[in-house]
Amino acid sequence: MISIEGLSKTFKANKKNITAVDGMTLDIKEGEIFGVIGYSGAGKSTFVRLLNRLEEPTGGRIVIDDQEITALNSKQLRLARQEMGMIFQHFNLLWSRTVKDNIAFPLEIAGFPKMEREARVQELIDLVGLSGRENAYPSQLSGGQKQRVGIARALANNPKVLLCDEATSALDPETTNSILDLLVDINQKLGLTIILITHEMHVIRKICNQVAVMEQGKIVEQGDVLDVFLQPKQQVTKKFVEQIMGTNEDDSVALLIDTYDEGKIVQLHFLGETTNQALISHVARKFAIDINILQGKITQTQRGAYGTLFVQLSGDDREIENAVNFIHNETSVEVEVIRDAN
């Protein structure tokens, strides 16, 4: 669906060249929700604006649905942009226009007849949950309602791709979740490919299928969201995962080792359906050991749940070893020994 090869963007500032996007190569499948995450200055917003050439690339190629966007002239680009909707952090609504007139604006530019515009606008108002607010002005709307207008406007021309640049950053957590649920609903109903730019791992975790982590203009890590959560490789990715888990794992492990100075400490990794297994009680019944649950958390992603659990195993060394081997060999739960029995 989307193929990006060697994409780069260099700005000149204070007589110096600043590289915002540095040789990015990326493939995004049709119909998936693809997240791009990075801290401020990583180049992620520049990247998404390069996709529809709101920023002109310094180098590289962008191909969307077999059309090379980077090779289009101005007239061709205007037509191609009709198939790429975009929503922004600060909504970018026309404050002198009502909800329905904001949504109709791109249809007016595209030359749709009035009756077609009105029918399409009403369809979109129903889709984004704004029925009854058609004649309200932006100043009369909440932040979440404004973003729903922005989403409806971005969908007006039936785009194939929806670009979301920090679309929930200005919203409170509850409203953020409602907008994310709406994006998932749109993705499923319309089969729309969504590229979502954010600095919040909660957003990636909740709705994305794939994620790319950006730092200093480059993709430093990429993969299935669940895989990246389970085994983050780069330090920047580990920091983002800590946003969800609520603790620095290295610090947490060290604290557990210092606090519990007896027995074997192991970390269990649960994935998908294994999060619902009664593993602890089963192992406790099967082996003559004591099991003390020290710390744990389960988190949901689009591909399923994953969780980690730290437990202390006490008792006969051979029985402990048998229990660990049982978990490792006879279940789908991953087990990692943090500290051997003393």
Residues of CATH 3.30.70.260 domain(s) within the chain? 249-339
Digit-coded pLDDT (tens) for 261-293: 788 888 888 776 555 567 888 898 999 999 998
Q: Are 143 and 87 in contact, with CB atoms under 8 Å apart?
A: no
Look at residue 273 in the predicted model and tell me its pLDDT. 57
Residues of CATH 3.40.50.300 domain(s) within the chain? 2-236
Q: Mean pLDDT across the stretch 73-99?
A: 92
CATH 3.30.465.10 fits 249-339, yes or no: no
Look at residue 180 in the predicted model and tell me its pLDDT. 94
pLDDT bucket at 19, cuts 50 / 70 / 90: very high
Digit-coded pLDDT (tens) for 161-172: 999 999 998 899
What's the chain's average pLDDT? Answer: 89
Percent of the chain with pLDDT over 90: 63
Closest CA to 98 of 67, 129, 125, 61: 125
Q: SS3 of 149, please?
A: helix
Q: Which residues contact 194 (CB under 8 A, 6 or more apart)?
A: 32, 33, 34, 161, 162, 164, 183, 186, 187
Helix (H) / strand (E) element for 107: namely helix 99-110
Q: Mean pLDDT across the stretch 131-143?
A: 95
Look at residue 249 in the predicted model and tell me its pLDDT. 58
Look at residue 276 in the predicted model and tell me its pLDDT. 52
Q: Domain 2-236: give its CATH superfamily.
A: P-loop containing nucleotide triphosphate hydrolases (3.40.50.300)
pLDDT bucket at 245, cuts 50 / 70 / 90: low
